[in-house]
Amino acid sequence: MNLKRFFGGLLTILGIVGLIYTAVIFAGASAETRDIKSVIIYGILGIVFFTSGISLVRTTKDES
């Protein structure tokens, strides 16, 4: 089992969860009570985790 590929998959899943949570916060809040800081923070973390996980999975070679 390749540890880098597993870690890349974990980062990708965490990124997807972060992006979905950002969308839920953004859609659930009204215009007056929208918490811009949390939307930006969770969105950026989700994008970073997702892209780093995808690139780690892509660049890791299968060694059986």
Q: What does the pLDDT read at residue 50?
A: 96
User: Residue 17 above 90 pLDDT?
Assistant: yes
Tell me what percent of the residues of the chain surpass a pLDDT of 90.
52
Tell me what percent of the residues of the chain surpass a pLDDT of 70.
89
What's the mean pLDDT in 3-17?
93
User: Model's pTM, two decimal places?
Assistant: 0.83
Q: Phi and psi for 30 in degrees, rounded to 5?
A: -80, 175
What's the mean pLDDT in 25-32?
76
List, as one string, the DSSP characters of 17-64: HHHHHHHHHHHHS-TTT--HHHHHHHHHHHHHHHHHHHHHHHHPPP--
Whole-number Å distance between alpha carbons of 9 and 22: 20
Q: What does the pLDDT read at residue 44?
A: 95
Task: Name residue, tokens 């890791």.
Answer: 60
